Structure 1
Amino acid sequence: MESSSMSQTLTIVYASFLGAGGLIGCLKGGSKISLVAGGGSAALFYYVSTELPRNPVLASSIGIVGSVALTGMMGSRYLRTRKVIPAGVVSLVSLVMTGAYLHGLIRSS
């Protein structure tokens, strides 16, 4: 139960980070794509946080897919632009979260 609440907390922080990043990208750079992508990612990971206590295997699997996708997209963007913010930071945080979800999946199986 303790690890589930920690996983939930980390996932909510991750979702908030992604949502805030999308909002900042929209407000600062006028990027509506950032708003939609950040908001959609935040919604996905909020859903993952609600499912973690009830169905940790499903939630961790969804978390892995989402965080791997973000790692790949933002990692390639970082390699192309060399901009640490936002691409480098998001790809690094997403990589760490991929490991966290993989750990959770292994523990739940």
Structure 2
Amino acid sequence: MDLSTSQKFTLGYAALVGVGGVMGYLKRGSLMSLGSGGVSSALLYYVYTELPNNPAFASSLGLGVSATLLGSMGYRFQKTKKVFPAGVVALLSLGMTGGYLHGIMRSHH
């Protein structure tokens, strides 16, 4: 199967978010990290599977997930000033939010 660049980035993003949730649980015992990382990762994996067939819908869902992560992790970074993990996830989420916006605009042409 030949993956698009959007799919590759989405799959990598899903993996990082999922691993981050597990790390948050293992390091701090945070069920919130585990739950939100797991749900976000599962939604992003769904986006990955839907991108070839329904790019507007998949990009819209990806936009929602990445914007939510951008908001929550951006707020956490602003509050704690810790680059890792909050700053890194916020920065990645900013990039993915832009990518999904681009995908939505491109699918409407």
Short-chain TM bin: over 0.9
Gaps spanning 5+ residues in structure 1: where?
none
Q: CA RMSD in A?
A: 1.2
**Paired residue total:** 107
Q: Give the distance between the partners of 1:64 and 1:37, measured in 2 at CA.
A: 16
- Map 1:1-109 onto structure 2 (within 5 A): 5-109=4-108
Deviation at residue 80 of structure 1 after TM alignment: 0.7
Return 5+ residue gaps in structure 2 as ranges: none
For 1:15 and 1:56, the matched residues in 2 are separated by 17
User: What displacement does 1:32 show?
Assistant: 1.2
TM-score (norm 2): 0.94
SS at match of 2:52: coil
Which stretches of structure 1, 4 residues or longer, exceed 2 Å deviation after superposition? Answer: none
CA shift, 1:20, in A, is 0.3
> Which whole-Å CA distance do the structure 2 matches of 1:85 and 1:29 have between them?
14
Identity of aligned residues (%): 56
